[in-house]
Chains A and B, each alone.
Chain A
Amino acid sequence: MTARFRFRQPSVIPGFGLTFGFTLAYFSIIILIPLIALVLRASGIGFEGFWKAATDARVLASLRTSFVTALFAAAINVVFGTLIAWVLVRYRFPGRRIFDAMVDLPFALPTAVAGIALTAIYAPNGFVGQLVAPLGWRIAYTPVGIVIAMIFIGLPFVVRTIQPILEETSREVEEASATLGASRFQTISRVLLPSLTPAILTGFALAFARAVGEYGSVIFIAGNIPFVSEIAPLLIVIRLEEFNYTGAAVIATVMLLISFVMLFVINLIQAWSRRRYGYGS
């Protein structure tokens, strides 16, 4: 077949040139040029300098804090987000719509508000903090606090990715599994969860990416102790306040690279699930 590539597809709606040009310009101004500027700025100090700045002990510690806490938060979100999605899809109870709407609250709430609210509860003199203080546990001002803030902001991503797939999975599939002799446990572990796997992985990746980049809510509850509870985005701000713009750009570039890799992984998961199951989120 000699299908010739045609740049302009015939269409009933005119204006391809205009809209495509606008898209390109917009994309460049908003995303591409700033990112290139960031990388250029960071590369201004040469590879040696870049490597030295990027592997600085405090930078590495902050990156580790960011990624490890985000990993924990995303993992916890996957478990409970799946549960919440299940309850919202499968059961009809009074107030279901309100709960459903509340899932989106972390999307809408200014993150600083979330940070203050969480800190008020989890600080050693706060409502929950008081309860665990006698056990010698501290939540706020430790990585545990960071994880809690990240769980809060990442939850909607997991719920909203799994919900539509769960709605699409008919009760009939579970009934079919039962008629074939599968126990409830087998139906969940062999039929239900595997069919949700792509959505769960996507939700995980999204929640993880969001948690890594979170700033506002985390800095209130984290305590920001260097080498313990200092996250990478905060270190960027600190570098900026020291007028060390290149140092800030280096950390930013490292985070940019990691984000790119993760975006790539999310896309791979989605492409794989679409190919295999004919759907994707």
Chain B
Amino acid sequence: MDVRVDHVRKEFDRFPALHDVSLDIHSGELIALLGPSGSGKTTLLRLIAGLERPTAGKIFFGDEDASEKSVQERNIGFVFQHYALFRHMTILENVSFGLKVRPRSSRPAAGEIRKRAMELLDLVQLSGLEKRYPNQLSGGQRQRVALARALAIEPRVLLLDEPFGALDAQVRRDLRKWLREIHDRTGHTTVFVTHDQEEALELADRLCVMSQGRIEQVGSPDSVYDTPTSPFVFGFIGESSELPVNVDKGDIWLGDRPIGISSPEASGAARLFFRPHDIELVDNGAGLAGVVATSRRVGGTRRVELDIGGAGHRVEIDLPFDHPAGERTQIAFRPKRWTLFPPA
């Protein structure tokens, strides 16, 4: 099911949470709404679900205008960060709930409901736990029950609000992989909200990066990571350093020194962004020269902070972990991949 968000605005008590947001969600894709807290990503998800009503704009499910439809009529699956399981029901009753509350005319027979629920519990690898109560399960298991419950109603769209936010790192990684598998197997159009960029990059077909109630960039994880279109995205996705530079006749200068890279862009002040691992060391010639401020081993690399020039600019670069850089050592490098943005 395609979902189209068309120029949607949302205000809470006159406070704007979303400004004129438009987004096309393709049928069958797994898309992540990614942003810091307060960026409006959860609001957008709740608007799609029908748990909130837009102040202006429309939401289409396929060709059908869903804006005025109630939550119940939209037939969506929603998974909450804190599971929101019904604690007085067994796991089986939780999963069957959506089918049991259907009007008599469209409700499957009791045996059929049970069979479907058991199949779903099998899909989420919780067979044998159907008689337990939610408080007898671990966090990861509860979230899988919540997913099975949402899938039981055969939703047109599956919406997940920070589904792994309350779980610890190991369980989170497992569930991430597993959610991807379930998605590939069932093919539901899935939208999930996260503030964890690693999770979004690993799991999603496409990312929708949001900030302050606006969409900053939409694209595949690779394109968003490799070609960020705004300073915000560059800073938010992956790690990056920023330097205020000047472009003069194609050469890029930091202060009064050229740094060995050139740009066809017009002359003037600019902001240079690059990632710690997209650099090369230079022995002689133009480059960014700095003094090592701190150096620490991070897994297979060495993360070094450099003080550049006398103006107190500090950048981060990655070196091989056995690089002999000690404190106060002089290091010169050049960004291999970088982007210029106009000054703020």
Q: A: which residues have CB within 8 A of B?
A: 170, 172-173, 175-183, 186, 190-191, 194-195, 197, 276-279
Contact = CB atoms under 8 A, between A and B. Distances in A.
Given A175-B51, A277-B88, A180 B97 contact: yes
B88 A180 contact: no
A170 B84 CA distance: 8
Interface stretch (B33-41, B73-81, B115-123, B221-229): B73-81
11 contacts: A175-B78, A178-B71, A179-B76, A179-B77, A180-B101, A181-B75, A182-B72, A190-B101, A195-B86, A195-B87, A277-B135
A197 B98 contact: no
Contacts of A179: 49, 51, 71-72, 76-78, 150
A276 B84 CA distance: 17
A181 B153 contact: yes
B336 interface: no
Given A179-B71, A181-B101, A195-B86, 10 more contacts: A172-B82, A175-B80, A176-B78, A178-B70, A178-B71, A179-B150, A180-B150, A182-B72, A182-B101, A277-B133
Contact of B80 (A176, A183, A190): A176
B102 interface: yes
Contacts of B72: 178-179, 181-183
Contacts of B88: 194-195, 197, 276-277
Interface in B51-89: 51, 70-72, 75-78, 80, 82, 84-89
Contacts, number: 75
A180 B98 contact: yes
A183 B101 contact: yes
A238 B98 CA distance: 60
Contacts of B303: none
A182 B97 contact: yes
Contacts of B80: 172, 175-176
A191 B75 contact: no
B149 interface: yes
Contacts of B89: 194
A180 B80 CA distance: 13
Contacts of B85: 173, 176
A17 B81 CA distance: 48
B82 to A, nearest CB: 6
Contacts of B71: 175, 178-179
A194 B86 CA distance: 10
Nearest to A169: B87
B220 to A, nearest CB: 29
B188 to A, nearest CB: 14
A279 to B, nearest CB: 8
Interface string B80-112: 101011111100000001100110000000000
A82 B112 CA distance: 37
B87 A180 contact: no
Contacts of A186: 101
Contacts of A277: 87-88, 133, 135
Given A172-B80, A195-B88, A276-B88, A180 B133 contact: no
Contacts of B84: 170, 172-173, 175-176
Nearest to A191: B86
Contacts of A175: 51, 71, 78, 80, 84
Contacts of A197: 88
A177 B150 contact: no
A180 B149 contact: yes
Contacts of B82: 170, 172
A176 to B, nearest CB: 4
A172 B153 CA distance: 18
Interface in B164-191: none
A195 to B, nearest CB: 5
Contacts of A279: 135
Nearest to A276: B133
A278 B98 contact: no
A190 B99 CA distance: 13
A195 B78 CA distance: 21
A72 B226 CA distance: 72
Nearest to A275: B133
B119 to A, nearest CB: 17
B288 to A, nearest CB: 50
Contacts of A276: 88, 133
Nearest to B155: A179
Contacts of A177: 86, 97, 101
A218 to B, nearest CB: 36
Nearest to A277: B87
A117 to B, nearest CB: 40
A250 B291 CA distance: 94
Contacts of B136: 278
B43 to A, nearest CB: 14
Contacts of A170: 82, 84
Contacts of B78: 175-176, 179
Contacts of B152: 180
